[in-house]
Chain A
Amino acid sequence: MTLADNLFENLRLELRRGCLTLAVLAQLRQEHYGYTLRKSLAARGMEIDENTLYPLLRRLEAQGLLTSEWREEDKRNKRFYLLSSDGQEIFTRLLKEWNDINTAITNLL
């Protein structure tokens, strides 16, 4: 990897970091467990590495933005996540921020 590629990769990861949270919150307006969430995000063009997504879910839950419960599905116990009421409020505000940034960037280009 060249220096320019490395720099691009770092900037790309930095750009994506905040967007991942927004994408996860958006997708968890419907209940999912970790793996199906990852698949549904990937199906909509937002690929997230397991090592990023699963700890992120834990952090968002600890921050009160998600609720979770263990439930059996297909004879296997799984932890299902859903956006909490606080999470819904934060998501709405983040989405507005995202749209503002998007508009601003579009105006700049």
Chain B
Amino acid sequence: MEILDRYLQAVKRHLPWLRQDDILAELRANLEAQLEDKEAELGRKLTDAEIETWLKQLGSPLQVAARYRPQQYLIGPAVFPIYWFVLRLALGWCAVIYAIARTVEIVANGHGPDAFLSAVAQMPWVLFMTAAVVTLVFAVVERSGAKIPEKFAAGAALGNDWQQGIKSPFDAQLDERRKPRTYAQAVIEVIFEWLALVWLLLVPHYPYLLFGPGAWYLRSLPYQLAPVCWTIYWCIVALNVVDLSWHIVDLLQHRWQGSRRAQHLVKSALGLIPLLVVLAAPGRVLVELKNPADTVHAATLAQINNGVYRAFEVITAIVILQLLWAIGRTSVEAYRKRLAAAR
């Protein structure tokens, strides 16, 4: 029995913490009954060596305990097809963006073949990190969503839009409004928002990610962005962080199918902040001269600032009108629902 006790203690170490005493008591009862049967068959007690052989046949304590664990995989079979689809998409885009970005950088800075070799050597690491992040996101999704079977049905809906080809664009638009977001759509949205945020954070260091080859040309101009543009930039980054966090929280709390009208309203209102920062720019200056003593370009600079400022005034007015329209429509709908409920 001492050997059996030692075996069971070894199993206990690997059992799920909350249920280990209960599982162990049951396992002990079953194994002791089995041992008694064996001894009754033989008409004698089993020797220690025989018990040891029998326990070895049962399997190592780690293997025995592992069977009682609820989840043995990082990404389950229901989520795996979506994971695989997103992983291939992310790796493909990552490779393309990395190749373009590094090529432009090398050509623009006039670096030699060594820089090309270095960029190629770094590529596997970049791809590996992308794969790791996507895998981590899906592992978290798998863990957090393990208790809600509806997500499997929602996830399976990915790629089920093949029937839209026989409908008019108007029908497709109506369907889009009516149907709740699927789990797969919500996950893909979060991943792309994360990639967009990374892209946004990289833009100041690699302007060609935003302007393409034009970044090279912009560098040669006598103008540069005024300090207020950094405030605007960080406002935009903050808005993206808020958006991403909001969607992650929605995913973790299983609220991805809920109405997003309130979210849209709040986001539209927050979206006004960078525009108001632009309009409050000191002296309406958004672009300044690299060399303040440059009198040749001063007149052109004033025209540029005036034009850009006017453009932002128009954009702000449009955004405010859109926001007011959305608030009005939401209020009318809420009022209509309340009336219907009262009847």
Chain A interface residues toward B at CB < 8 A: 33-36, 38-39, 50-52, 54-55, 58, 70, 76-79
Partner of A34, one of B29, B63, B64, B68: B29
Q: Known contacts A51-B67, A52-B67, A55-B67: does B58 contact A76 (CB below 8 Å)?
A: no
Task: Confirm or deny: B224 has a beta carbon within 8 angstroms of a beta carbon on chain A.
Answer: no
B29 touches A54 (CB 8 A): no
- Whether A51 pairs with B64 at a CB distance below 8 angstroms is yes
> How many whole Å from A46's CB to the nearest CB in chain B?
17
Given A34-B29, A34-B30: A58 in contact with B63 (beta carbons within 8 A): no
Contact of A54 among B30, B33, B37, B63 (CB under 8 A): B30
A-B contacts besides A55-B67, A58-B23, 16 pairs, CB < 8 Å:
A33-B33, A34-B26, A35-B33, A35-B34, A38-B30, A50-B30, A51-B58, A51-B64, A51-B67, A54-B26, A54-B27, A54-B67, A58-B68, A76-B29, A77-B25, A79-B29
Question: Which residues of chain A have C-beta atoms less than 8 A from B27's C-beta?
Answer: 54
Are B67's CB and A33's CB within 8 A?
A: no
- Residue numbers in B under 8 Å from A36 (CB-CB): 33
Tell whether B59 is near chain A: CB-to-CB under 8 Å: yes
- Asked if B32 is at the interface of the complex by the 8 Å CB criterion, the answer is yes
Rounded to whole Å, the gap between the CB of B88 and the closest CB of chain A is 27
Please give the distance in Å from B10's CB to the nearest CB on chain A: 14
Asked whether, in the complex, the Cβ of B68 is within 8 Å of the Cβ of A55, the reply is yes
Among A51, A52, A78, contact of B29 (Cβ-Cβ < 8 Å): A78
Closest B residue, CB atoms, query A77: B29
Interface size class of B (residues with CB under 8 A): 10 to 19
Q: In the assembly, what is the distance between CA of A50 and CA of B67, in Å?
A: 10
B33 proximity list for chain A (CB < 8 A) = 33, 35-36, 76, 78
Question: Chain A residues with Cβ under 8 A from B63's Cβ?
Answer: 51
- Using Cβ atoms and an 8 Å threshold, which residues of chain B touch A55? 67-68
Shortest Cβ distance from B129 into chain A, in angstroms? Answer: 35
Question: Closest 10 CB pairs between A and B?
Answer: A55-B67, A34-B30, A35-B33, A35-B30, A79-B26, A78-B29, A55-B68, A51-B67, A35-B34, A51-B59
Q: Which of B24-47 contact A (CB under 8 A)?
A: 25-27, 29-34, 37
Which residues of the partner chain B approach A77 to less than 8 Å between Cβ atoms? 25, 29
- Given A51-B63, A55-B67, A55-B68, are A33 and B58 also a contact pair (CB < 8 Å)? no
Min C-beta distance of A77 to chain B, whole Å: 6
Q: A34-B26, A35-B30 are in contact. Are A50 and B58 (CB under 8 A)?
A: yes
CB distance from A61 to the nearest CB of B (A): 11
Interface 0/1 of B58-92, CB less than 8 Å to A: 11000110011000000000000000000000000
Contact with A along B263-284 (1 / 0, CB 8 A): 0000000000000000000000
Instruction: Considering the complex, give the chain B residue whose CB is closest to the CB of A34.
Output: B30
Tell me the smallest distance from the CB of B73 to a CB of chain A, in Å: 15
| Least CB separation from A56: chain B residue | B67
* Whole-angstrom CA separation of A77 from B24 in the bound complex: 12
Docked CA distance A76–B23 (Å) = 15
Q: Produce 1/0 per residue, B286-317, CB < 8 A to A.
A: 00000000000000000000000000000000
